Structure 1
């Protein structure tokens, strides 16, 4: 794929069916849980993307047996009952937050290990301190930073994970808490009690982690979303020889929104049975835009019998990965849209609030930005004027969700004559979670 991609607007209402990739969040959680279980597990419907390949590659470097078949969308891994086979390794986690946090915690199960970890320039800026401080204070490792304290790159000298009481600041990312929850049942000696200092974000991802842990045989005592979480000591056991990965609910959000943009309807197979992913609740948001959603035999039908264009205010904290999907469509509303509860997204793949504000302003929209919110005052006439002579380029900041969100906006026939008006820079960044996103989008135009 070239360094930029001009989006061709739809000339007719969309129809058809979209086969979505597997969930990144579930794929990487399953890999972590399976690796430290006492079972051999085949992940069916697994996601093959940059983030999951990083996880697979890292587990292989640590000595785990992992075989993958991209054609069959399957990955088979042999668990080692909480043992990390190799005592030394150099791991590169790219910009994969799940791999970065989960692997760091997994490594601390090894007594006497020494591991060098690094990530991409963007990952070097993402929060790790809460996890590293908690593990080091608990005596599970010694951390030697090679750059900025609390960030990649660093060396972990691991000492094994003991039971007792552990406190963690997970305010910057729910993945920090999820990482500790995943390894907690394998603590040596007395049970490990995990408590949160303050609040965390994106509670549905914590619920996902706990739900999957239960599937693998661990049902902790829970004192609400903030803990304490108390675990009995014991190995994980897979629920069967195979584990079915749900379709990615966040990826589904783009295709749930597409019929609102261009008209028509879409079928999303297997999305009617999504249970682990909180982002499926993006449907509730789209309901405010007139969405109608029917489910039959697991297939979700999405259409807009009454296309509504009034703006509204929405707290996206529980489903923050989907806020970009709605923000990108805001120029097509007729009143202002306010999105709140998203301060933590400033520390994700990029500063997502600033990125969306910048690109929407480039399209002539009046945007008000606070630390925790984004308000867009739509101006479709300004957008028409700015793109009448040539497509306008959207910078994506190496962020897959910025690229995909504006890709959906570009499908709108803004000028009424099929002229392209939006160009996506670095569309290949979608490889992080949805490598063939723009191919799938193109297939729906035919």
Structure 2
């Protein structure tokens, strides 16, 4: 794929089926839990993307056997029973937040380990301090920073995870808490995790607790706000030979939105069975806009019926990865839309609020920002005028979600004659979670 991709609008309602990639969040959690398990395990319907390859490569660097079959969408992991084989390694996490946080906590299970860790330039700006401070204060590791304290790169010297009380500030990312939850059952003694303040994206904490239980550890507390007590000294074990990964609910949001943007209907395969991912609730937002969803066995069928008037006012804290899907199509609405609860997204792959606001302003939209929210005042006349003579280029900031959300907007036949009007810069950034996103979009267009 080229460095820029001009989107060809749909000139007829969409029809067809979409096979979505496996969930990144589930695949990378399952890789950690399988690696820490006592037995070997095959992950089926797994995601193959930049982020999951980073995780698999890191586990191999630690001496854990990981074999991938991309054609079959399977990953084989030979668990280490909680004992990380290699006492020293260099780990590169790219811009994968799950790999960065989950591996950092996992490494601390190794006594006498020395691990040099680094990430990409954007990753070096993403929050790690809450996790690192908690591990150091608890005695699980010492950290030598090679740049700005609290950020990559650093060297981690690990001591094993003691029992006791461990308090963590996970206000910047729920992944910080999830990372500690996955290692807590393997601590040397009884360990209770407590939250210092609030965290964000609570459904991801629920996902982590549910997967810990799937792998044989019964959490003693069911709350997603803590405290989280564990008896320590446990071992993970998955009771079946294969773990089937759910389709990516965030990826589903784009193709659930597509029939609303261009008309028609789409079948989203295996999406009715999604139970671990809170982002599936984005379809309730679409319901406010007039989309309709049917169930067909294990599939969800997204349909366009009648576009409702006005905009949307919604707190997206629990499903923040999907806020971009809605924000991108706001120029097609006929009333203002306010999206709140998203302050933490300023510290993800990019400052997502600023990125979306900047690109929407390019399209002639008025956008009001606060630290925690954005309000878009749609101006359809402006977007038509801005793109009348030639396609307008959308910058994606190395963020897959920016690229995919505007890819859906560009599918709308804005000028009524099939003329392309939107170009996506760096479409390859979608390799992070959905490498063939634009190929799927093209195939649906026919």
User: TM-score category by the smaller chain?
Assistant: over 0.9
Q: How does 1:183-222 map to 2 (within 5 A)?
A: 183-188=183-188, 190-222=189-221
Q: Distance in 1 between matches of 2:82 and 2:317?
A: 33
Structure 1 position 294, deviation (Å): 1.0
Q: Is the 8 A contact 1:113 1:157 kept in 2?
A: yes
The SS at the match of 1:444 is: helix
Residue 83 (structure 1) aligns with: 83
Q: Distance in 2 between matches of 1:82 and 1:104?
A: 14
The answer to whether residue 106 in structure 2 is matched with residue 106 in structure 1 is: yes
Q: How does 1:180-259 map to 2 (within 5 A)?
A: 180-188=180-188, 190-222=189-221, 224-233=223-232, 234-259=234-259
The answer to whether residue 71 in structure 2 is matched with residue 94 in structure 1 is: no
Q: Distance in 2 between matches of 1:226 and 1:305?
A: 39
> Any idea what the Cα deviations from partners look like across 1:177-222, whole Å, max 9, x if unmatched?
000000000001x211000000000000000000000000112122
* TM-score, length of structure 1 as denominator length: 0.99
Structure 1 position 366, deviation (Å): 0.6
Residue 62 (structure 1) aligns with: 62
Q: How does 1:260-279 map to 2 (within 5 A)?
A: 260-279=260-279
The SS at the match of 2:190 is: strand
Structure 1 position 432, deviation (Å): 0.2
Q: Distance in 1 between matches of 2:345 and 2:39?
A: 36
Structure 1 position 331, deviation (Å): 0.2
Residue 165 (structure 1) aligns with: 165
Unpaired runs of 5+ residues, structure 1, are: none
Structure 1 position 223, deviation (Å): 6.5
> Any idea what the Cα deviations from partners look like across 1:362-382, whole Å, max 9, x if unmatched?
000010000000000000100
Q: Distance in 2 between matches of 1:14 and 1:260?
A: 10
The SS at the match of 2:360 is: helix
Q: Distance in 1 between matches of 2:350 and 2:218?
A: 35
Residue 385 (structure 1) aligns with: 385
The SS at the match of 2:163 is: strand
Q: Distance in 2 between matches of 1:436 and 1:343?
A: 29
Structure 1 position 443, deviation (Å): 0.2
The SS at the match of 1:303 is: strand
Residue 133 (structure 1) aligns with: 133
Greater shift in the superposed pair: 414-423 or 291-300: 291-300
Residue 71 (structure 1) aligns with: 71
The change in CA–CA distance for 1:309 and 1:428 in structure 2 (over 3 A counts) is farther
Structure 1 position 10, deviation (Å): 0.2
The SS at the match of 2:212 is: helix
Unpaired runs of 5+ residues, structure 2, are: none
Structure 1 position 309, deviation (Å): 4.0
Q: Distance in 1 between matches of 2:114 and 2:309?
A: 56
Residue 365 (structure 1) aligns with: 365
Residue 425 (structure 2) aligns with: 425
Structure 1 position 306, deviation (Å): 1.6
